[in-house]
Structure 1
Amino acid sequence: MLLTSGKLNAYLADVDKQAEKRFERLVEQMKQSQGITEQLKTENTLEWVQRMNNIQACAREIVNKEIIFG
């Protein structure tokens, strides 16, 4: 229906924008709650990368469940 009415691209752009904003907020909240700082990045880059990858994977899963597939 969205495709035939010409509104599909606008709808998808809106969903993408919502998902991106939610993802960024979640990552920031998780970083703060887990104490991940720039100091950790400087002192132990490998641990910082591991923890950030975990946070981003969790945030992606939440966004997919809430916005993309919800």
Structure 2
Amino acid sequence: MDKYIYDESNGLWYELQGDYYIPCLTLPAEKGHKPIGLWGQRHKHYLQEHKRAVYTTLLTSRKLNCYLADIDEQATKMMFRLVEQMADKEGVTEQLKAESMILWIGRMNEIQARAREIVYSELIYN
């Protein structure tokens, strides 16, 4: 028996798997493939684990990549905006950086951790 056969009536290739021929099906590639960053990957993992129906719908409609790239872009902008706003509000400035680098680093790390938690709760795990 041939490993692959072509059915002209439906235009599909079939692969021999054991005693049966299984159609060789693949999803077409998405248009406008955009890179997905860290935030998009985390949201994808969340969808796979907790929102399987949404994940499958986006995947089969070929909109998953665009959706994740959009989430990644929104999360990145939100993170930068939150860090900037929190740093201004708390007086973490370039002057503080020049005067006490260690204090500035500690406060910026705290601000970034809080901003990350907000991004997670608002966009990534929602």
Distance 1:17 1:64 in 2: 14
- Between the aligned residues of both structures, percent identity stands at 60
Higher relative contact order (CA 8 A, sep 6+): 1
- Render the CA deviation track for 1:13-60: whole Å, top value 9, x for unaligned: 000001011111100110011001101111100000000000000000
Q: What letter corresponds to residue 13 of structure 1 in structure 2?
A: A
Matched, 1:33 2:89: yes
Out of 61, 82, 87, which is 1:5 matched to?
A: 61
Q: Which runs of 5+ in 1 are unaligned?
A: none
Distance 2:94 2:118 in 1: 25
Q: Which residue of 2 aligns with 1:51?
A: 107
Matched, 1:23 2:23: no
Q: What letter corresponds to residue 31 of structure 1 in structure 2?
A: A
Distance 1:17 1:8 in 2: 14
Distance 2:65 2:98 in 1: 42
Q: Which runs of 5+ in 2 are unaligned?
A: 1-56
| Structure in which a larger fraction of residues adopt strand | 2
TM-score, structure 2 normalization: 0.55
Rg (Cα) greater in structure: 2
Distance 2:98 2:59 in 1: 48
Distance 2:99 2:91 in 1: 14
Distance 1:27 1:37 in 2: 12
Number of equivalent positions: 70
TM-score, structure 1 normalization: 0.97
